[in-house]
Every structure is written in C-alpha cells, then in structure tokens.
A and B are shown apart, each in its own frame.
Chain A
Amino acid sequence: MSDVSEQVFVDQSGPDQVPYGRPLDAEVARPVSEWRRFLRIFFQRKLVVFGVAVLVVLVVVAIFAPWIATHDPYRNDMSKALRSPSSEHWLGTDSLGRDTFSRLVYGARTALIVGFGTVAVASVVGMILGLLAGFLGGWVNAIIMRVMDALMGFPMLVLALLLAAVLGAGIHNVIIALSIATLPAYTRLMCGETLSVKENEYIMAQRAMGAKSLRTMVKHILPNAFQPTLVLVTSMLGNVILAEAGLSFLGIGIKPPGVAWGSMTADGYRFLEAHPQLSFAPALCIMVVVFAFNMVGDGLRDALDPKLRGVL
C-alpha cells in the first residue's frame, strides 16, 4: 500500500498491484444528461405539447404571412364590405372590405414582433439593471430598486396606457411602453437571483483570486442567474401580447393601417350581432396564443426548477 501513495495519478490507477478493473475516473464521471431530463419533464404535460404546437404554427404563420394570406390585408374595397364567410373570404370581410383571414395572418406578425421585441428589450435592460443592483449593492441598488418600486406602483396596463398615450401610437412606441411597464419584473427577479448566486463560494473564490467585478458578473453571476429570467420571458410573452391587444383595442396601440388583433376586435365590435366572427376570430387568436405561452412558461418552470429535481 505504501508505494501506491507516491503515485501521481491516484484516482486513475488505484492500487496498482492488482491489474483488474477499469480506471476509476471513467467509472465515477458518468455524464448526467440534464438535457434529456429537461425534455422529459417539459413535455410531460399534454398542455405544454399543445402550447409548443401553437407557438410553432404562430411563428410559421408570421414568417410566411405573404404566402399564407389569401388577400392583401391592407387593401380597402368598399364594394366587398362586411361579407359573410365564403370560399372566397374564409372569415368574411370587415367594414372596409378587407379579408379578415388575411388580416389575422398579418396580425400574428404584429403580435410576435411586439411580443418578442418587448421581451427582448425589457429582459436585456432588466437583467443588466438587476445584475448591477444585486452585485454592487449600496446606493446603486437603492437607486435602481426605488425606481423599479415606483414603476411597480402602477398596474402594468395602466402604466403602458400612460406611456403609450404620451409616446403616441405605433409599433415602436408600443414596444417601448410595454418594455418600461414590464421592466421592474425582470430587474427585481435578476436582482434577487444575483443576490443569491453572489452568496456562493465560487463567487467568493473570484474575489479571492483577484477577478474584477465586471468579469465576475458577466462570466459567473449572469450564467448562473439566467434561468429564472428565461421562465419569466416565456410567461411575459403572453402578458405582453395581451397588453398590446388591450392597447390596440383602445386605439392607442398599433396605428392603422397596421394590423393588430386588438384593433380588429375593436373594429368588429360594432357589427357584433351581424358579423360576430369579426370580433371573435381575433379575440380567439389572442386567447389561444396567450394560453399557449403561459403553458410553455409553466412547463419551462417545472423543468428548470431545481427544487423539483428528484421529485419528477
């Protein structure tokens, strides 16, 4: 036994007087497939599968809108106004004679651009602010978090309304308004995560090694604090699309001639008795898409939740 202790590669060779057996390292370091576990839990629920399917369809429709749409969604033709569904116009036409189905298809584009645009802007800005507030603490934290608290004071939609009213209608302004309105959620989440990741010994090790703050934040805190934001992003997508629909419904969202499900619902409202599909079709789209995003968000949360590890 004593000569064994002089060896350098202890774990690899083990007691060398006995020739059997494979290297111990190979036995111990069996890679664990986190990814497979993730997929298994994620797709465990039927509704998640449904959600993912809806999202795939939505993205495909949005990208290939010009090929899927049967008519030009912007072209007014008063002679064809308020037609009932037919083989020519699957969902009929609106009061300006525009094809409802084609408008729905283009509306998917708007919904996705606003949804992803807002989430991208808000999550990136929110994560940076949260990271700074959580890591640096002190007055940086105080300023950032008090501003966020102030923003949180307004209900999200009221704040978005206010901002949209100030900024004016239009897709860019809607994205800006909704980003500001949803910013506190990301900032607070990231700040909290940063605070908890910061407590880990590997962050302390960074300090002991002499790493600069920026390096520690970008290389170590961000990757480890990122997952909850991912979950928030998916569930926020639904909220944002709903909020955009709300703004458009109220007429301060997407400017005409832009197509949005919210404004379509509002436009069709006047003809609810004679042509219910004008309002109900876009409303149904909003509902299904928001529901799908929420389901995917829930599935993602379950699959990424470390507390459920071992239970599921």
Chain B
Amino acid sequence: MNEARATETRLVGRPQDAEVSVAVPANDVILKVEDLRMYFPITRGLLKRKVGEVKAVDGVSFTIRRGETLGLVGESGCGKTTVGRCISRIYQPTDGRIWFEHREISKLAEKEFRPLRRHIAVIFQDPYGSLDPRQTAGSIVGEPLEIHKMVRSKAEYRERVAGLFAKVGLDPALMSRYPHEFSGGQRQRIGIARALAGDPSLIICDEPVSALDVSIQAQIINLLMDLKEGSSGLTYIFIAHDLSVVKHISDRIAVMYLGRVVEITTPAELYSNPIHPYTRALLSAVCVPDPDIEATRERIVLEGEVPSPVNPPSGCTFHARCPEATPACKTTVPKLTMVAEDHEVACLRVAEAAVKEEQ
C-alpha cells in the first residue's frame, strides 16, 4: 500500500499529467501507461546476432479511468496490438512503466504477476485461432477458473461455466460441443465468456469484431456494451482499425501512428474537431454508408505509405506524409499536448500555436 502511495505522488509530480490527475480522483485511474516501449530484435544467423530492431511501440503514455472504454485505433503496424499485449504481459515491454490498480506491473516477475492475470483479460481477434480446436467450449470457458483455482467443486465449476454461457447469450447445453461446430459470432461469444471467467476489471479487446461478418459485428458490439453496463467498473481497451466501430464503443479514443499516440480525445471531439493531420486523413478515409453525406465529404488522400518501424523517420514519424509539415517536424519529436479538456495532440504545429497564443 505504501508503495502505491509513493507511486501516486510520483504520478502527480509529473507536469504533463498534472491536469488529468487533478481532474480525476487518483483512485479512479485503473491503468496508467507511461512511456511504453516495445522493440523486437531482428536477429540473423545461428548465433542470433542482433542486426536491428522493430520499434513496434515507441513511447506511448495514457491513462484509463475505471469503467471507461479506451479505443486504440490505427493502421496495421502502428503498434496498437503490441500495446495491448504489453499491458497483458504477453510481451515483456522493453521499457516504460505500467500501473494497474496503482501497482507497477511492468517489471513484476511472471510468478508475481500470475495472480493478477485473472484481473486483466484478453479477447482475441481471430475467433478460429483463439480457441483450442481440441477442447470443448465448456472447458475453454472454464479454463481461467481452473488455472486460478477459483472453484471448489465440480458442481460449482459447471454452474459457473453455465452462468458465463448464459451471460454471453449462448445456450449452456452447448458446453460439450467443439469450437468447429460454432459459427464465427458464437465462437467470439465463447472467447468473451472465457475473458469474463476470471472476473476481470480490465478487458483488452484486440480487434474483437474485425474477423466477423457485418451482420454479426453488431451482435458482439452490443454484447460487449451490455456486459459493461451490467457490471460496475468493468473497463475496456478496445483495439481496432475500424474507426466507425471504435467511435461507436469508446469513451475516449487514442489514435496511433507508427508506434506513437498522435491524438487522444472523446469520440465526439474526434469527429467534429480532429487536429492531428493524420487523424484528419484517417477520418476522411472512412466511408459513411450514406450517399448524400459521402458526396459532400472532403477526402484527404495521403501520399506514400506507412514507413517501416525498423527504420522510422526522425522527428515526427508522420512528417514525410504530412501536408502541413515544417522543417522542425523532421528533427523534433512532438509531445502530447493538451489543447482542450480531454483532448491531447502530438503535433509541433499545435504546440507552436499554443505558445503563440500565450504570448
């Protein structure tokens, strides 16, 4: 407990976060990520000589309040999935700190972290690959109960699993079936039931609907939203590349580009007042199923492609594709700057404007 307190003071002490920490009571923050970095080594040859690094996540910081849904959005290779896997400690982050329930978890040994794992659940993208094909649906869902020894008897186990099935809209009579007998949407429900089994306070949803058919996506999105409403303080990190879906489900959205967060704000603000040039391009690239609106929307077509994270551009990683880049963008890494309540942007031009205004 003392350690947690000490951490808190440190948090408040950092100037960048001061405003967030004042606005929200400290105990409301369930997860805080600070300067997270995940570099994957590229090795070559028999001796595994390191020849380079993939900078999948390169300095990401954010906080999540209890009961909130934070959307992480960005294109493939932007590091959003890696952020999720670092938090759930599927990967051991290269650098940076993660506080979960006021406890620093990024450096914990696996043995110490294991009891915490049931509080941080993960829902995976692929409803086919994320369920063991040789396990029955019931034993998949009940696995966290077994691993963390959360039940005392067989009867209690069955009852809990049946309860989880019902909770996600599956008939408990299907407990003895195998994954291949279920449709994609039903499999994803099984995955969700498994995530719920450990009674988690944080669920990391990694592209949970992108592998599903359009008509099934809505079922799963609604289910996730209902589950959150039905519990007190369940928190989601919702990772997806589909901005429409993320906007629908999230309370706040962090837009990522090449391993960094470029903008964090609320969905309404993101839609009406996107500031980072990349966010604007991303928004304009999404088509709205409405011909009249589509006919009038401006479209920002970006030049070139996402650079390789092995050798990211200097300064602001977006500078080469940015229509508004200045020479300074090539050299200076922009920091997330508060531009309004609940709206932070990492863009030098915004920072410049803010400085000018103050003067």
Contact = CB atoms under 8 A, between A and B. Distances in A.
B329 to A, nearest CB: 37
Interface residues of B, number: 43
Interface string A194-218: 0000001110111111110001000
Contacts of A215: 147
A30 B180 CA distance: 10
Contact of B132 (A9, A29, A224): A224
Contacts of B143: 206, 209, 211
B122 A32 contact: no
Given A205-B124, A205-B130, A224-B134, A211 B147 contact: yes
B126 A201 contact: yes
Interface residues of A, number: 29
Contacts of B129: 200-202
Contacts of B300: none
Contacts of A206: 143
A25 B133 CA distance: 19
B181 to A, nearest CB: 5
A136 to B, nearest CB: 14
Contacts of B317: none
A37 to B, nearest CB: 12
Interface in A213-243: 215, 219-220, 223-224
A44 interface: no
Contacts of A208: 88-90, 117, 120-122
Contact of B122 (A30, A205, A219, A223): A205
A308 interface: no
Most buried by B among A32, A208, A215: A208
B118 A25 contact: no
Contacts of A200: 129-130
A28 B114 contact: no
B124 A210 contact: no
A21 interface: no
B167 interface: yes
A201 B90 contact: no
A5 interface: yes
A25 B222 CA distance: 19
Interface string A21-48: 0010100111110000000000000000
A144 to B, nearest CB: 15
B222 A5 contact: yes
Interface stretch (B29-37, B169-177, B343-351): B169-177
B183 interface: yes
Contacts of B120: 208
Interface in B106-128: 113-115, 117-118, 120-122, 124-126
Contacts of B339: none
B74 interface: no
A11 B124 contact: no
B305 to A, nearest CB: 26
Given A25-B174, A29-B174, A205-B194, A210 B118 contact: yes
Given A11-B186, A201-B126, A224-B134, A209 B198 contact: yes
A10 interface: yes
A200 B126 CA distance: 10
Interface string A164-206: 0000000000000000000000000000000000001110111
Contacts of B85: 204
A32 B169 CA distance: 23
Nearest to B139: A219
Nearest to B204: A208
A219 B148 CA distance: 16
Interface string B192-230: 001000100000000000000000000100110000000
Most buried by A among B143, B166, B223: B143
A167 B186 CA distance: 58
Contacts of A30: 181
A12 B166 CA distance: 10
B312 to A, nearest CB: 26
A191 B27 CA distance: 47
26 contacts: A8-B166, A9-B171, A10-B223, A11-B169, A12-B169, A25-B174, A28-B183, A29-B182, A29-B183, A31-B177, A201-B124, A201-B125, A201-B130, A204-B90, A204-B130, A205-B130, A208-B89, A209-B118, A209-B121, A209-B144, A209-B147, A210-B144, A210-B147, A211-B147, A223-B132, A224-B132
Given A10-B219, A201-B126, A210-B115, 6 more contacts: A12-B171, A205-B122, A205-B194, A209-B117, A220-B132, A224-B132
> Which are the 4 A-B pairs with shortest beta-carbon distances?
A210-B117, A201-B130, A201-B129, A10-B169
